[in-house]
Amino acid sequence: MQPIVQISLDLTNIAEAIETAHLAIRAGVDWLEAGTPLILAEGLHGVRALRSEFPNVPIVADLKTMDGGYLEAEMMAGAGATHVVVMARAHEETVRCVVKAGKDFGVQVMGDNMVSDDMVAGAKWLEDLGCDFVIHHIGFDERRGIAARGQRMPSPLDQLREVCEAVKVPVQAVGGLSLEQAIQCPAYGAPLVVLGAPLTIDADSFKTADGDLESSLRLICDAVHSQRVGD
């Protein structure tokens, strides 16, 4: 399959999220993500605004659901999301509820293996429970905390190939990747390439990054789309 480029709108207001999204779509980005900061700040209103502005673009709602899975997925589907995110650290019944809601309301489920004791096993468990995608994720606080103690910062690339080999569903790698590393993800077997903090968003202020973001995104999209991941 041809890789997909997703931009994570890790912003805190709708106006800037829509402006950044327009820029991203012009540059060739395929999917928009209502990032966790946007959902915290604007909730369903942020997702509805993106759906209204981009009626034909897939929208990922990064809920990081841990409980109340059916209702959260139902609400985001009603607001226009096409994909919702549930955590591997949630109870099995929560994952099952999100998967059920996905089937009932026509949204796809992305299972996030962040802080799983065994990241590969966590990814496989999410697939076995019915998730349509796996997000292989090293968390923001985890990366920063480890680096602050002078230790090597973990990267999703460390086990990305193992995760991709363990599951049949498409995989996305998230967490502190450089632009070059993000572009390399399809070569590891992960066709969903996400661009967000700190690639296109200032990770400290959660504002759009400075510089010619559109031109940079276009180059990244071209590099990603020129690859292919084996079906």
pLDDT digits (tens, 9 = 90+) for 122-168: 999 999 999 999 999 999 899 989 989 999 989 999 999 999 999 99
User: Hey, what's the torsion of the CAs at 165, 224, 7, 197, to 10 degrees?
Assistant: 80
Report the alpha-carbon distance of residue 114 to residue 123 in Å, rounded. Answer: 9
Tell me the mean pLDDT in the region 196-212.
57
The two tokens of residue 91 are 């109870």
Instruction: Tell me which of 51-60, 103-112, 144-153, 189-198 is least confident.
Output: 189-198
Tell me the mean pLDDT in the region 31-53.
97
CB atoms within 10 A of CB 225: 16
In the chain, what are the domains?
Answer: 4-225 (3.20.20.70)
Chain-centre distance for alpha carbon 4: 11
Report the alpha-carbon distance of residue 120 to residue 165 in Å, rounded. Answer: 9
Report the alpha-carbon distance of residue 123 to residue 147 in Å, rounded. Answer: 25
Tell me the mean pLDDT in the region 185-199.
87
The type of residue at 221 is: C
Q: Does residue 205 register a pLDDT over 80?
A: no
Q: Does residue 74 register a pLDDT over 60?
A: yes
What pLDDT, on the 0 to 100 scale, is given for residue 209?
A: 58
What pLDDT, on the 0 to 100 scale, is given for residue 23?
A: 93
Closest CA to 95 of 108, 109, 105: 109
What pLDDT, on the 0 to 100 scale, is given for residue 1?
A: 87
The two tokens of residue 81 are 């999301």
Place of tokens 């990244």: 220
Q: Does residue 216 register a pLDDT over 90?
A: no
